[in-house]
Structure 1
Amino acid sequence: MKRIIFAVLGAISLSACAQAPQGAAAKAEPAAKADAVAAAPTGKAPEVKAGSAEARAVEAIRQLNPNITIDKVGAAPMPGFREALAQGQVVYISDDGRYLFLPGSGGALFDTQAKKNLSEDSLAAMRKDLLKTIPASERIVFAPANPKHTVTIFTDVECGYCRKLHSEIAEYNRQGIAVEYLAFPRMGIGSEDYKKMVSVWCAADRRKALTDAKAEHSVPSKDCKNTVTQQYNVGQRAGLTGTPMILTAEGVQVGGYVPPAQLRQTLDKIAADSKPAAAGAKPSAAVAAPVGGL
């Protein structure tokens, strides 16, 4: 995921301080009449005509994060949108300034007025249902006595960030976070990586076997009836692009590797933001910027 995604997600999910662009929606301007605006000096927005679609595009990005460098704004190849170059990434903004689309791998559609990641809302609901298909007995759990939060983490024994996360598992527990591991052998079904994870899931003490495997200690080779393949398939369907992948109980992705204290902060924020749901409001999906991953 790219720098602007980090910045946008941070603005929406963690600070929740963005305000909607002002002004009524305007009609789309023909692409042929909307020449690209010249590049702006570093750290400044391009010069745009007040009230234009370009001005609304700049404002939409600035509302999400005022520190993003916007180099150019102009016509998009699709009607009804402006195209902006911001911090090395192409961004598309609807001409009324409300919707912002980040294309490419991990792309997402944001409602800048509602301050919501619309793509994540849909994905979260799907992930929550997918996770229900994996029995609790098939998860490797590390939990404190009275957890404040529970996360599901798709993990791999060969992944460096997965090993780093697990080396801090005691601190995650001290932060009140219960971790439920699911298997995602990133080398694929039938690989040596896969066989190691099957051995872990077939071990008499799965917690010890997983800890040993991640510490590069020998784990006895075993085979048995297991759900590693099922877990791997669920991870793929859940949109996993790298390990580790951390999901809340509601299916919201909160990053790759995230340090314990930062993860607790993020989970507290999501829980606080979801409280209005009891009064009938739908909570917005929040996503923390991955610190590390595959």
Structure 2
Amino acid sequence: MFRFAIAALLGALSLTACAQQPAASKTATAAAAPATDAAVEKRVRDALKELDPNFKPDYIGAAPFAGFREVIVSGQVLYVTDDGRYLLQTTPYDIANKTQATSPGLLAYRRGLLETLPHSDRIVFAPPNAKHTISVFTDIECGYCRKLHQDIAELNRNGIAVEYLAFPRMGLASKDATDMISVWCASDRKAALTAAKTGQPVPAKNCTNPVAMQYNLGQQLGINGTPAIFAADGTQLGGYLPPAQLKAALDRLEGSGSR
């Protein structure tokens, strides 16, 4: 379904029949009174259904720039013009805030998903009186995940708490997933995760665990690589950042009121 939508974009296909209207008709439409948010959302939904009847967005809301709706499908963020004619797959950049552009609605959507993952199921490395908290989807084998873990002490000194969530990049049938289950089932999860990230063998364990739930939610968030770092407001900060850069990014978000 999603691949079909991208093919439509690359083929410069119109999403709606209104794309085929004559210029005079489009001009008359543009002169009409502005549509309400509900009407725009319906127009976008109808356009997507015309593109593919099985196209079911998880979220539609106002984009962080005028004239577009922000749409989430299978974790991927798309932008559709308010008239339902054009679809874009891109990552807009907010020059003023020096970060990826995100709308309040998208941030709230991400926060809502993250809040469904209990704190007790996370592996937490936190200083006393943390100033910032980040949620980090990680696996135990990727190089940048290991590099980030080497920075834990420095991050904590900078007042940053790190809450790890499981995201085995190779899928739930992989050895990485089996090892991550063993880490989450260890009596001392923090020690087990640290050992695994230094390349030590992971003693096999099994129990009721959150690895699959965290992995599946990560897919809903559109994660396709690790580490994937989210600020408390739902802003995705990208992959690995050195401690000073990560702190600066979090301070900027706090200073901007998390938009």
Question: Please, what TM-score do these two structures have when normalized by structure 1?
Answer: 0.56
Q: Hey, what does 1:125 align to over in structure 2?
A: 108
Q: In structure 2, what is the Cα distance between the partners aligned to 1:124 and 1:154?
A: 17
Letter of the structure 1 residue corresponding to residue 142 of structure 2: C
Q: In structure 1, what is the Cα distance between the partners aligned to 2:127 and 2:246?
A: 15
Runs of 5+ unmatched residues, structure 2:
1-22, 24-66, 68-78
Pick aligned residue for 1:253 from 236, 241, 249: 236
Letter of the structure 2 residue corresponding to residue 142 of structure 1: F
Q: Hey, what does 1:241 align to over in structure 2?
A: 224
Q: Larger % of helix: which?
A: 2
Runs of 5+ unmatched residues, structure 1:
1-29, 31-79, 81-91, 95-100, 275-282, 285-294
Pick aligned residue for 2:178 from 195, 204, 224: 195
**Aligned-residue offset at 1:260:** 0.5
Q: 1:25-40 counterparts in 2 under 5 A? A: none
Q: Deviations over 1:239-282 (max 9, x none)?
A: 112100110111111120011111111111110110xxxxxxxx
Whether 1:182 aligns to 2:182 is no
Q: In structure 1, what is the Cα distance between the partners aligned to 2:236 and 2:111?
A: 11
Q: Hey, what does 1:211 align to over in structure 2?
A: 194
Shift in alpha-carbon separation, 1:242–1:102, aligned structure 2, 3 A:
farther
Q: Hey, what does 2:152 align to over in structure 1?
A: 169
Secondary structure in 2 aligned to 1:108?
A: coil
**Aligned-residue offset at 1:123:** 3.0
Preserved CA contact (<8 Å) 2:169 2:224: no
Shift in alpha-carbon separation, 1:137–1:112, aligned structure 2, 3 A:
closer
Shift in alpha-carbon separation, 1:246–1:115, aligned structure 2, 3 A:
closer
Letter of the structure 2 residue corresponding to residue 146 of structure 1: N
Question: Please, what TM-score do these two structures have when normalized by structure 2?
Answer: 0.63
Secondary structure in 1 aligned to 2:226?
A: coil
Shift in alpha-carbon separation, 1:170–1:110, aligned structure 2, 3 A:
closer
Q: In structure 1, what is the Cα distance between the partners aligned to 2:100 and 2:198?
A: 37
**Aligned-residue offset at 1:146:** 1.3
> What count of residue pairs does the alignment treat as equivalent?
179
Q: Hey, what does 1:272 align to over in structure 2?
A: 255
Q: In structure 2, what is the Cα distance between the partners aligned to 1:165 and 1:113?
A: 27
Shift in alpha-carbon separation, 1:233–1:261, aligned structure 2, 3 A:
same
Q: In structure 2, what is the Cα distance between the partners aligned to 1:253 and 1:154?
A: 11
Q: In structure 1, what is the Cα distance between the partners aligned to 2:256 and 2:141?
A: 35
Q: In structure 1, what is the Cα distance between the partners aligned to 2:169 and 2:177?
A: 8
